[in-house]
Amino acid sequence: MATTHVAVSEIEAEQGQQRIVNDLSIQVATVNGSGSQSSNLVLLRAIFQMGIPVSGKNLFPSNIAGLPTWFTIRASKHGYIARRKEIDFLVAMNPETAEEDVRSLEPGAAVVYAEQLNLNQIRNDLTFYPVPFDKLVAPVCPDAKLRKLVRNMIYVGVLARLLGVDMAEVEKAVRKQFKKKVKAAELNFNAVLAGYDYAEKNLEKADRCWLEPMDLTAGKILIDGNSAAALGCMFAGVTVVTWYPITPSSSLCETLISYMKRYRIDPETKKATFAIVQAEDELAAIGMVIGAGWAGARAMTSTAGPGISLMSEFVGLGYYAEVPGVIFDIQRVGPSTGLPTRTAQGDIISTALLSHGDTKHILLFPCSVEECYSLAIEAFDLAEEFQTPVFVMSDLDLGMNTWMSDAFPYPEKPIARGKVLTAEDLERLGGFQRYRDVDGDGIPYRTLPGTRHPAAGYFARGSGHDERAIYSERPEVYVNNMDRLRRKFETARNRVPGPVLERDHGTAVGIIAYGTSHWAIVETLDQLKREHGIEAGYCRIRGYPFNDQVADFIGRHERVYVVEQNRDAQLAGLLRLDLSDDLVKKLRRVLHYDGLPIDARSVTDSILAQEAER
Amino acid sequence: MATTTLPSPPQKVNRIGLEVAAYKGNKTTLCAGCGHNAITERIIEACYEMGVEPYRVAKLSGIGCSSKSPAYFLRSSHGFNAVHGRMPSVATGALLANRHLLPIGVSGDGDTASIGIGQFVHLMRRNMPIIYIIEDNGCYGLTKGQFSATADLGSVLKTGVVNDLPPIDTCALAIELGATYVARSFSGDKRQLLALLEGAIAHNGTAMLDVISPCVTFNDHEGSTKSYSYVRDHDEPLEEVSFVPFFEDISVEYDPGTTTDITLHDGSHLLLKKLDSGYDPTNKGEALRALTESHDKGEVVTGLFYVETKRQNFIELLNLVEEPLATLPESRVRPPQSALDEVMAGLR
């Protein structure tokens, strides 16, 4: 396909326009269940293989087939992989949404569309590329039943031709997508070729977007956050996994099952070094985690907001009886059922303080697929070191979308199992008291059921208990225990992963963000500097309780914008509980909560507006 | 040889050399005369006689009067008093972590048949190897006597309130759902309850025992169908239950056709001497029919309703390594660098 670039530059010369290279976003509008996910991933992968930083975001309905769905691909030579609001290239495949999709475009955008939709009648400030999809798919796919699925591959070919995607990379991506299904790969690639040929013969390039090979993705991987978290769990040595299906978390446990079957079967006995159970509901899933954690397993579950709500009572038991467990919250939009297939960071306060009474929990905030992996490993160590439930606060955008990343490093630290006394320890010590703060860090010692020593047993309970785990309602015993639990939480403050500080030079403006907002912030920092000369410091929080460095960061800045994907400024709320009044006064809010992944332009605009009002 | 130390009188010990004291727990805080205390005594006796290693036992419970009782037996075993109605999931998790534990779960009729019915049915369905005891008094004792879902139709509270809903029969439910050892007994029937508990310890799979256990404070009056006098008057044992543990070399003589001999997992035997009906406890349909008929007649039928000794339990289905998952070393739970490299290569 070496001819591509020659042909392309000829067209460009004729038009005399300025080329926009490796900086575009493509939106594909299709119908759910039409096989478009394969086409979109092929396109994404082909661009990735060209060495261009790329990201893909699937905006899908809570539906199996028939409702509209959109997929956005962003290619950026600058490495920006957050969602971009402006669309340069629309592929309109869904008659139901096509008109609105076209109307929402910025002037100058390009539209590839099914010919019969006549979209070129709607506006005259766009570039239109009509394609007779049905006519093209018939000859390459004789089986009429498969045409609906293969049809979408045609736009991959059309885009490849129009944007200059190397067809050799497209072919490689098709083969990767269909793996061992050779016939399916053949069929789909023929459809790509049909689209390419059609575009070559019939479409005249009239937009300015181009893709050209770079070398910014060498050695990198493409993976979704849930798969990355699953890998982290496996390498953390998870032994008990109990779960209940819920969007957008199901794929975490499902992927984990496939990894565990591959890598965690004992080579000699062919027996599993893990138990994975699909529970009857989230109550049972967390109950099994608590039971397994109590009995010494590295246990976990994965869920989303509604599951977290159901787990509330058990998590309080885990906190008070001091039982380790790891819970992944792949956050989606609430309240209630909310928008189950859209993204948010709306469970921060409810999870941090989950359950009745004075409870607080350790939270970790991964921003990337690499952190889904590394913080999963960290979560298991923290849960066992602190003998408490630990939450990994991912979200739908991170969990279900495909992200580019450096390859994950093999864990350096050995597994930390915390303060567990063996029969030999008990023999030496002559006994133990389950809830006694021996070391002054608030973390007591525990034994596991099945420990062969008469002094090993104790009675774990959710009711009031003394240092020997014996039922007690005495006021001073209760206070003593609750104060120790607070001490334990304070120990966690500087043990959880600290914030990542960037451009922290004590400027007037600071930004605090966490999780997937990071990718918008990276771009916002550049926009503020490039477009408005504002230098901002950036503190990305990775854990709760907040590390002391967070307060120090706020102290060094005059105004600190806390960027979140929820309506109520939830993390800022937790900061308020923690900070002195003079620091609280510095906090400002930047909130994004429409269910779409946060974008840099919205953040930049919000900060600028608040700076102007000052 | 001027003096000879007189040997102290030999302490009675069981087959693993433990005295009965090793199986006792804290002093009960339940009401004097509570049926639950009698059940506690039988659990102590059964564990002692069977020579159960206390370190292997995990005592589990939910919330309620019944759920306090694990504190009153096997002091040196680990125990977990969990949340209301959700002991089954905690027990399941504990067994997943350590398949060698012997979980003894104690629940109540409210804890099981109302708030806990969801977890109860799934525990039965999985046939987890656990002993699940319902201390069934037909009322909520700890909140002062409200009806539970096992209260019989027409049963009357002390306050005069009449129960107008039919009871949930936890035994019928357990049989229907796949539990493999299902019995009903009465806290006042020492002999039957002990034999059924010992059989439960010997069984591999879910052993579900619904033990009618009168609440002396709130449900032991005229008009109650869970009172001592009512149950004594209406108790209709299906069979005479005897238990012969695997470690006792006793051959029992019985006339052919009069007794069903069930060989349990560990080699122990349950001998069920047929009373008039000629009841077959390996027949699911017959078990369910017997329960339905007893309800219709207003009887409290007791005994072993159903037993199935061949079905795999849930842990066996999972194909786990022999050692407890909880204590597998890092080398067995963290795959090597080469595994990560292989995964990463596939993602490029």
* Test mutation, B106, B124, B333, chain A, max A CBs within 10 A: B333
Cα–Cα distance measured from residue A292 to residue A298, given in angstroms and rounded to the nearest whole number: 8
Measured between CB atoms, does B16 come within 8 Å of chain A?
Answer: no
Mean of the per-residue pLDDT values of chain B? 93
A200 with A229, same domain: the answer is no
Q: What pLDDT shows up at residue B249?
A: 74
Q: What pLDDT shows up at residue A6?
A: 41
Mean of the per-residue pLDDT values of chain A? 95
Residue A412 belongs to a domain: no
Question: What radius of gyration, in Å, describes the C-alpha atoms of chain A?
Answer: 27
Tell me the mean pLDDT in the region A307-319.
Answer: 98
A91 with A170, same domain: the answer is yes
Name the nearest CA neighbour of A370 among A409, A339, A328, A320.
A409
Residue B329, judged by CB atoms within 10 A of its CB (0-12, 13-18, 19+), counts as exposed
A335 with A391, same domain: the answer is yes
The DSSP secondary-structure symbol of A368 reads S
Q: In chain B, which residues have their Cβ closer than 8 Å to the Cβ of A240?
A: 93, 96-97, 325
B295/A193: higher pLDDT: A193
Cα–Cα distance measured from residue B151 to residue B141, given in angstroms and rounded to the nearest whole number: 13
Q: What pLDDT shows up at residue B276?
A: 66
A506 with A472, same domain: the answer is no
The CATH number linked to A523 is 3.40.50.920
A324 with A264, same domain: the answer is yes
pLDDT at B77 > cutoff 90: yes
pLDDT at A186 > cutoff 50: yes
Residue A356, judged by CB atoms within 10 A of its CB (0-12, 13-18, 19+), counts as exposed
Interchain proximity A459–B324, CB inside 8 Å: no
Confidence label for B11 from pLDDT (cuts 50, 70 and 90): confident
A243 with A303, same domain: the answer is yes
B200/B295: higher pLDDT: B200
At residue B210, the 3 state secondary structure works out as strand
Tell me the mean pLDDT in the region A529-538.
Answer: 96
Measured between CB atoms, does A457 come within 8 Å of chain B?
Answer: yes
A353 with A272, same domain: the answer is yes
Find the DSSP H helices in B203-261.
228-234
Q: What pLDDT shows up at residue A3?
A: 39
A333 with A378, same domain: the answer is yes
Q: What pLDDT shows up at residue B297?
A: 87
Of A235, A290, A299, the CB nearest to B334: A235
Q: Which pLDDT tens digit goes with each residue over A90-102?
A: 999 999 999 999 9
Q: What pLDDT shows up at residue A377?
A: 98
Confidence label for A5 from pLDDT (cuts 50, 70 and 90): very low
Q: Which pLDDT tens digit goes with each residue over B146-163?
A: 999 999 999 999 888 999
Q: In chain A, which residues have their Cβ closer than 8 Å to the Cβ of B59?
A: 459
Measured between CB atoms, does B78 come within 8 Å of chain A?
Answer: yes
Residue B306: Cβ within 10 Å count = 25
A166 with A36, same domain: the answer is yes
Tell me the mean pLDDT in the region A258-278.
Answer: 97
Least confident of A11-25, A97-111, A305-319, B328-342: A11-25
Q: What pLDDT shows up at residue B347?
A: 94
Residue A72 belongs to a domain: yes
Residue A539 belongs to a domain: yes
Q: What pLDDT shows up at residue A60?
A: 86
Residue A534 belongs to a domain: yes
ipTM over 0.85: yes
Confidence label for B258 from pLDDT (cuts 50, 70 and 90): confident
At residue A301, the 3 state secondary structure works out as strand
Measured between CB atoms, does B58 come within 8 Å of chain A?
Answer: yes
User: Per-residue DSSP letters for A324-367?
Assistant: -EEEEEEEEE-STT-EEEEE----HHHHHT-SSSS---EEE---
Measured between CB atoms, does A50 come within 8 Å of chain B?
Answer: no
At residue B128, the 3 state secondary structure works out as coil
Shortest distance, CA A459 to any CA of chain B (angstroms): 4
The CATH number linked to A12 is 3.40.920.10
Number of compact structural domains in chain A = 4
Q: What pLDDT shows up at residue A4?
A: 41
Interchain proximity B83–A281, CB inside 8 Å: no
Q: In chain A, which residues have their Cβ closer than 8 Å to the Cβ of B93?
A: 240, 242, 287-295, 297, 299
Query: Using CA atoms in the order A152, A157, A163, A167, what is the torsion angle rounded to 10 degrees?
Result: 130
Measured between CB atoms, does B219 come within 8 Å of chain A?
Answer: no
Confidence label for B3 from pLDDT (cuts 50, 70 and 90): low
What residue of B is the nearest CA neighbor of A262? B339
Single residue among A475, A493, A511 that ends a domain in this structure: A493
A442 with A384, same domain: the answer is no
Measured between CB atoms, does B317 come within 8 Å of chain A?
Answer: no
Cα–Cα distance measured from residue A242 to residue A277, given in angstroms and rounded to the nearest whole number: 5
Q: Which pLDDT tens digit goes with each residue over A133-174?
A: 999 999 999 898 889 889 999 999 999 999 999 999 999 999
Q: What pLDDT shows up at residue A18?
A: 86
Where do the structural domains in chain B lie, given as residue ranges?
20-326
Q: Is A132 left (phi over 0), alpha (psi -120 to 50) or beta?
A: beta
Residue A418 belongs to a domain: no
A391 with A244, same domain: the answer is yes
CB interface of A with B, residues 167-206, below 8 Å: none
Name the nearest CA neighbour of A86 among A523, A510, A395, A515.
A523
What is the CATH code for B20-326?
3.40.50.970
Least confident of A328-332, B185-189, B294-298: B294-298
Residue A469 belongs to a domain: yes
Q: What pLDDT shows up at residue A440?
A: 97
Tell me the mean pLDDT in the region A204-214.
Answer: 96
Phi, then psi, of A143 in degrees rounded to 5: -75, 105
Measured between CB atoms, does A284 come within 8 Å of chain B?
Answer: yes
Of B74, B88, B318, the CB nearest to A272: B318
A210 with A251, same domain: the answer is no
Sign of the alpha-carbon torsion through A400, A520, A85, A163: negative
Find the DSSP H helices in B72-116.
87-97, 109-113
What residue of B is the nearest CA neighbor of A459? B79
What residue of A is the nearest CA neighbor of B340? A410
Residue A352, domain extent: 223-405
Tell me the mean pLDDT in the region B177-185.
Answer: 97
Instruction: Supply the pTM of this predicted model.
Output: 0.95
Interchain proximity A297–B322, CB inside 8 Å: no
* Test mutation, A41, A238, A294, A452, chain B, max B CBs within 10 A: A294
Q: CA-based angle B53:B56:B62, to the nearest 5?
A: 120
pLDDT at B321 > cutoff 90: yes
Measured between CB atoms, does B127 come within 8 Å of chain A?
Answer: no
Confidence label for A7 from pLDDT (cuts 50, 70 and 90): very low
Measured between CB atoms, does A290 come within 8 Å of chain B?
Answer: yes
Q: What pLDDT shows up at residue A489?
A: 98
Shortest distance, CA A87 to any CA of chain B (angstroms): 27
Q: CA-based angle A436:A440:A446, to the nearest 5?
A: 40
Least confident of A46-55, A251-260, B146-155: B146-155
